[in-house]
DNA sequence: GATGAATGAGGGTTCATTCAT
DNA sequence: TATGAATGAACCCTCATTCAT
């Protein structure tokens, strides 16, 4: 399941199934994952249009036709990458917002989570792909909005409203515009793909500075 | 010069020259602009790779071959769009930073400038294209960094440093990371292309809220 | 291997292997040959630049894309035609020069060989193509010089030197200029493509007359 | 009139015409010649198909459209080059055959004529073009056969027949195949375009050796 | 299921030819 | 007459998708 994911092919191994079909199913699943990983590489490197199924197949160690056994077409494969990688991550973020900890601590954790679990993994590439290819893939944008953004924003807004009520913050701008919290993270991803060679960006410091402005100064972790 | 430009064909009319060659030059310039505008439409709608020169020609009312009289190839045409539209805009921004007005006023003007001169024009599309296609066009990213970003950031940093010295702001985070100022604008552009149909974003309000957080509350202009 | 070749698809039939892959390999080879033959037709008829891959594909009974499974591009296809047809022929000629027979007999055999194996086959077209397209294909000319001409001339010179030593001929002009031996053959090929409809040329007689002048009269073989 | 020709634009100047139209006609003729010369350059360098009218126009110092004022199309221009350059040369050759001099002397003169007036001038390029492009231009081949070859061969045959009658030569092979006389010259032209960089050819020596074989030894001129 | 050879539509680019000026 | 901008047909090559093995 690409690199950013866990539990690879355990499901069938845990239960005592017929070894034959189980092994076959496992192999099929492994292939599917290999294809997804290879496809992400290629999509990231070249963009949707320029990425070649031939290269993905080669990279995944399968024949070109095999891809079509797992995905209807190039577009379906592309969308499935996003689906399979971003879905699992949402829960983690929702958990942070629901934890009974000070807002400032949440901010710190979100920064660390972003740096470690997004910027440091393939999820960075996924988000970049959503940004770069999304305009041409309405269904992808919709999926991402429905399954990721709306849920994350919803959790964030809830917690922020509580923060306003409790006096942790003095205005409701962030409730109205949670985008203001996420914006520097997005910009960091864009920047890294475009301008890092001219002017590298210390993402963690960028985000910390941002959180300090939003929620008040705090010593470095 | 696409839509965001002024003075169409005045230059030749002012001087008293042979009508023939002047009219021809004018028409050539008009065609060039028509091609640029049509190309921007197509690039915006489909992305660089999927945009067809055939469609651009049709939209511009010229033959396909005519495009090659004005631009070496598809890529040169693409880069020229960015060049011709963003270049002239940099000076305006630099002027704002150099004006002898309070930082807070500058912030307001930048918001208005962005809303009116970027978000309300084709420049929004240009920036979106830089974001979406830049990763595959190193030269484009370099041009944009060199001719736009570095100059704007340089002007901004200078003014911000003065603001720190004068006590207009109490920290130097924005000097280190001018990206923090621009981030919501970028996010607004991305958002508008991806999620506006699910959740429209009031860009002016977003940016104002952001400036309020960065530089302190202020009544609406 | 075009028409000048033998043994069609026997190789795989002889051994007892999986019928599938063998048949596939055979078919692939057959297609390759069909493409080469069709391409030679088109190149001969129109010249390199004007020959269309589309026509070759149609003539070979394959799709246009199939050509690119076997040859990198139009030029590679062109060079491969020359390579595959002329290569095998060199050895035959070399053999004649090395045989322990009188020079005059060699001359007769060379005439017959040329008439039967060059002028009567596609090799005539190949040589014509080398003459007509070579100036624009330095690599082709080089290949032909290296793999064909220099080897044939080398063999010829060696035998001619021996002939001088033995007194079979009284001068060394042909050692210095083996081109003098080949010239009428080349002219015959050129003539046949340009002027045969105005004045047909009896190639065998032409070459015999030439050999008679070079090596002395002889009754017809 | 290309380089190999004389008397450029004298015709009109000699007679006392209206200066206006005369100058105009002269200029037109000069342009025509410039175009022919430029076209020969380009055709020689790239072959008929790959030669670009654009380059010819540039090289001739005229606009592209001007070419069409003098020649119907690319093909007509090509044929006209051959026509205008080879025509004048035929008479010279015919004269040599008719002169009252020994056959052996004629042979020497033909060699010198070829080396100086063909191999050392643009006529070499013309002949190469006839060889390389002729197969695709039946009308060109016909013109060349009718206006050049048949006349030259006719003159040569006549003289050779006389030579046989007089006992200057003992066989009639050359009467039947005048090509045998010309062959090394043709081969020299082909060779120079294909293989000179691998193995340069001393054309004069080649032709002298050839004539020595055909007509008997003779000291170098 | 897995393969990869085969397909053929599609698009960027070139360039001979035309024609308004 | 001369120009050269404009045209658009033509063609090479790519690559997503199919399907016989």
SS3 sequence of chain A: CCCCCCCCCHHHHHCCCCHHHHHHHHHHHHHHHHHHHHHHHHHHHHCCCCCCHHHHHHHHCCCHHHHHHHCCCHHHHHHHHHHHHHHHHHHHHHHHHHCCCCHHHHHHHHHHHHHHHHHCCHHHHHHHHHHHHHHHCHHHHHHHHHHHHHHHHHHHHHHHHHHHHHCCCCCCHHHHCCHHHHHHHHHHHHHHHHCCCCCCCCHHHHHHHHHHHHHCCCCCC
- For C25-56, the pLDDT digits (tens) are 888 999 999 999 999 999 999 999 999 999 99
Q: Report residue C220's pLDDT band, with 50, 70 and 90 as the boundaries.
A: low
CA distance linking residue C152 with residue C97, whole number of Å: 9
- Interatomic CA–C1' length for residue D68 and nucleotide F4, angstroms: 13
Look at residue D14 and tell me whether its pLDDT is greater than 90.
Answer: no
Task: Supply the pLDDT for residue D20.
Answer: 52
Contacts of A among chains (3+ CB pairs under 8 A) = B
Of A6, A7, A200, nearest in space to A121 by CA: A6
**Whether the predicted pLDDT of A213 surpasses 90:** yes
pLDDT average, residue stretch D68-96: 92
Rounded Cα distance between D154 and D148, Å, is 10
Indicate whether B2 pLDDT > 90: no
Count of residues in chain B: 221
DSSP code at position C100: S
Whether C150 has its CB under 8 Å from any CB of chain D: the answer is yes
Instruction: Give the pLDDT confidence score for residue B13 in this predicted structure.
Output: 40
Chain A interface includes B25 (CB < 8 A): no
- What residues of B are in contact with residue A206 (Cβ under 8 Å)? 177, 179-180
User: Taking CA atoms, what residue in B is nearest to A145?
Assistant: B195
pLDDT, tens digit, 9 for 90 and up, residues A110-137:
999 999 999 999 999 999 999 999 999 9
Instruction: At D133, list the tokens.
Output: 């492009």
Please report, rounded to a whole number, the percentage of residues in chain D having pLDDT higher than 90. Answer: 80
Write down the pLDDT at residue D86. Answer: 84
Residue B133 forms contact with A (CB below 8 Å):
yes
DSSP labels, D104-158: HHHHHHHHHHIIIIIITSHHHHHHHHHHHHGGG-HHHHHHHIIIIIHHHHHHHHH
CA distance C139 to chain D (A): 10
Q: Which of C171, C186, C198 lies closest to D145 in CB terms?
A: C198
Give the DSSP letter string of C17-85.
--HHHHHHHHHHHHHHHHHHHHHHHHHHHH-TTT--HHHHHHHHTS-HHHHHHH-SSHHHHHHHHHHHH
At residue A23 the predicted structure's pLDDT band, cuts being 50, 70 and 90, is: confident
Contact B103, B168 (CB under 8 A): yes
The closest of A42, A20, A37, A184 to A107, measured between CA atoms, is: A184
Tell me the chain A residues in contact with residue B201 when contact means C-beta distances shorter than 8 Å: 179
Q: Distance, in angstroms, between B92 CA and closest chain A CA?
A: 23
Which of the nucleotides lies closest to B67 (Cα–C1')? F6
Domain with CATH 1.10.357 in chain A: 79-221
What per-residue confidence (pLDDT) applies to A86?
A: 84
D52–C contact, CB cutoff 8 A: no
> Which residues neighbour C12 within 8 Å (Cβ) at sequence distance 6 or greater?
C22, C23, C25, C26
DSSP one-letter code for B148:
I
Q: Is residue B108 a contact partner of residue B211, using CB atoms and an 8 Å limit?
A: yes
Closest residue (Cα, C1') to F21: C20
Asked if A139 has any chain B CB less than 8 Å from its own CB, the reply is: no
Q: Is B66 exposed, middle or buried (0-12, 13-18, 19+ CB in 10 A)?
A: middle
Burial, D7: exposed, middle or buried (Cβ in 10 Å; 0-12, 13-18, 19+)? exposed
Question: Hey, is the C-beta of B190 within 8 angstroms of any chain A C-beta?
Answer: yes
- Tokens standing for residue D43: 């055709």
- Of residues C46, C131, C213, nearest to D132 (C-beta): C131
pTM to 2 decimal places: 0.87
What is the three-class DSSP state of B179?
helix
Spatial CB neighbours of A25, under 8 Å, sequence gap ≥ 6: A12
Q: Does the domain spanning D10-71 belong to CATH 3.30.2350.10?
A: no
The CA-to-CA distance between both ends of chain C, in Å, stands at 31
Task: Tell me if D132 and C130 make a contact (CB, 8 A cut-off).
Answer: no
> CA–CA separation, B183 vs B114, rounded Å?
12
Given a cut of 80, is residue A4 above it in pLDDT?
A: no
Per-residue confidence (pLDDT) for residue D21, from 0 to 100:
59
Nearest residue in chain A measured CA to CA from B172: A209
**Interface touch C179/D198, C-beta < 8 Å:** no
- Nearest Cα residue in chain B from A215: B213
User: What is the second-level CATH architecture of the domain A79-221?
Assistant: Orthogonal Bundle (1.10)
Q: What pLDDT shows up at residue B88?
A: 86
Fold for the domain defined by B1-71? Arc Repressor Mutant, subunit A (1.10.10)
Distance measured from the CA of protein residue A63 to the C1' of nucleotide F19, in angstroms: 14
CATH class of B74-221: mainly alpha
Closest CB from D177, D188, D195 relative to C145:
D195
Cα–Cα dist A46/A179, whole Å: 28
| Distance from C-alpha of C145 to C-alpha of C140, rounded to nearest angstrom | 8
Check whether C189 has a pLDDT greater than 50. Answer: yes
Which nucleotide C1' is nearest B25 CA?
Answer: F5
Interface partners of D (3+ CB pairs, < 8 Å)?
C
pLDDT at B17 > cutoff 80: no
Contact C199, D176 (CB under 8 A): no
| Cα–Cα distance for residue pair B168/B103, rounded to 1 Å | 7
Q: Tens digit of pLDDT for each residue in C48-107?
A: 999 999 999 999 999 999 999 999 999 999 999 999 998 889 999 999 999 999 999 999
Q: Residue D110 CA to E15 C1' — how many Å?
A: 42
Q: How far is C10 from chain D, CA to nearest CA, in Å?
A: 38
Where does CATH 1.10.357 sit in chain B? Answer: 74-221
| pLDDT value at residue C14 | 39
pLDDT tops 70 at residue D17: no
Nearest CA in chain A to B141: A194
Q: Tell me whether chains C and B touch (3+ CB pairs under 8 A).
A: no
* Averaged pLDDT score across all residues of chain B: 89
Q: Which of D140, D185, D129, D60 is nearest to C136 (CA)?
A: D129
Q: Using CB atoms and an 8 Å cut-off, which of residues 93-132 of chain A contact chain B?
A: 128, 130-132
Residues of B in contact with A194 (CB under 8 A): 130-131, 134-135, 141, 144-145
With CB atoms and an 8 Å threshold, state whether B213 touches A180. yes
Q: In chain A, where does the domain assigned CATH 1.10.10.60 lie? A: 1-71
User: Measured in angstroms, what separates residue C65's CA from nucleotide E6's C1'?
Assistant: 8
Q: What is the mean pLDDT of residues D206-210?
A: 98
């Amino acid at each position: 399941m690409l690199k950013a994911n866990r539990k690879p092919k355990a499901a069938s191994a845990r239960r005592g199934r017929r070894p034959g079909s189980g092994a076959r199913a496992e192999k099929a699943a492994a292939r599917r994952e290999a294809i997804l990983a290879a496809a992400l590489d290629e999509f990231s490197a070249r963009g949707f249009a320029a990425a070649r199924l031939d290269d993905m197949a080669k990279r995944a160690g399968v024949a070109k036709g095999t891809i079509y056994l797992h995905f209807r077409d190039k577009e379906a494969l592309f969308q499935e990458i996003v689906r399979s990688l971003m879905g699992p991550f949402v829960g983690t973020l929702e958990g942070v917002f629901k934890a009974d900890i000070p807002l400032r601590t949440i901010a710190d954790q979100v920064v660390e989570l972003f740096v470690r679990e997004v910027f440091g993994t393939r999820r960075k590439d996924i988000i970049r792909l959503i940004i770069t290819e999304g305009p041409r893939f309405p269904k992808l944008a919709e999926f991402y909005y429905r399954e990721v953004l709306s849920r994350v924003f919803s959790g964030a807004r809830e917690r922020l409203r509580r923060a306003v009520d409790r006096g942790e913050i003095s205005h409701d701008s962030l409730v109205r515009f949670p985008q203001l919290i996420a914006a520097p993270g997005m910009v960091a991803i864009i920047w890294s793909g475009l301008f890092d060679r001219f002017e590298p960006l210390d993402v963690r410091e960028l985000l910390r500075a941002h959180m300090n402005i939003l929620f008040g100064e705090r010593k470095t972790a």
